[in-house]
Structure 1
Amino acid sequence: MNHLRSLIPSTPDQILLYECWEKSNRLSVMYIKTKISVGIRGSIEQHKNVRKLLKVIDEQLVTSDKAFASTLIMKFTSLKLTDIKGVREHIMEMRDIVAQLKKLEVEMSESFLVHFILNTLRLRRKVNDGARRKCHAGYSNPKEASE
C-alpha cells in the first residue's frame, strides 16, 4: 500500500511533473497514431500510454517482418530466368532480394547465392536445350531425305 502512495503526486512539484508527463504522453500517442497507416491501425490495440503503444507496434512489426521475409524467400526460390529479362537482370533481382532479406536479419552466404544462381541458369539452359532438340527432331535435313 505504501508503494501506491508514492505514485500519487502530493507535492506541487510532483503534480506539475505529472501534468507535464501526462501532456507529453498524450501528444506522443496522438502523433504516433497519425503516422500509422489506416490499414494497420485496426490491428494495433488502443493504448493511452506511449510506452505500451510502442511495445505493441514493435511486436506487430516483428510479425510483419517475419511474414515479409517468408514472402521474399518464396519469391527468391521461385524466381525464373525468362527471355524477357536477361541473365544480368535475373542476377540483379536475386541479389536485391538477398539484400532485402539481410535487412530483415535473414543471412544468406555469398557462396550459396552464387551456386543457387548458377543452378537456376543451368535449369534454364537444360529447358532450352530440350526444347531445341524437340524442335529440331521434327525437321529432317533435306539432303538426307533425298538420298
Structure 2
Amino acid sequence: MTEVRYQVAGLDAAWPLLAELAWLAPARFAALLSALGDASLDALRRRFDAGFPGTGEVDDYAWFPAWLLVVKPALAGRFGEARVQRDRAASRATALLGEILRREHEGDQHELVSLRQEFSRLHAGLFEAYMATRKVQHR
C-alpha cells in the first residue's frame, strides 16, 4: 500500500504510511526505500546510516521517522497523519517530537521541559541529536 501511495501521489503523500511501515516492519521499510529508487530518500537514508546514534542493525530504521523530524522538522505535519503505535517507542518518540516542535513555536517553555525529558527517556542519542539542532546553551 505504501509503494502504491508513493507511485500514485508522490513522496509527500506517502510519508504517513512510510512512518507506519518503519515502526511496524523496519526491515521491510529499508527494502522499500531501496526499491523505490527515489534520490531524495536515498540521500536521507545515507545520512541516517551515517549519523543515527543506534546499534547499526536494521531495527534502527524504526527510528527513521523521528530522526527525520530532527533533520527536517517541516515534515511534522505529514507524520501527524500516521497512526501512532503506542506500544512502540519509536512511534511514540515521533509523535512526541511532533508535539515538541509545535510547542516550540508556541513558546511554552514549561511544557517543553517535560516533553523533552520524556523524549530523552525514549532514545537518549536521538534526543542529543535533537538538542544539538537547538540554540540552547547548557550552563
TM-score between both structures, scaled by the size of structure 1? 0.25
Relative contact order, higher structure (CA 8 A, sep 6+): 2
Which has the larger Rg?
A: 1
TM-score between both structures, scaled by the size of structure 2? 0.26
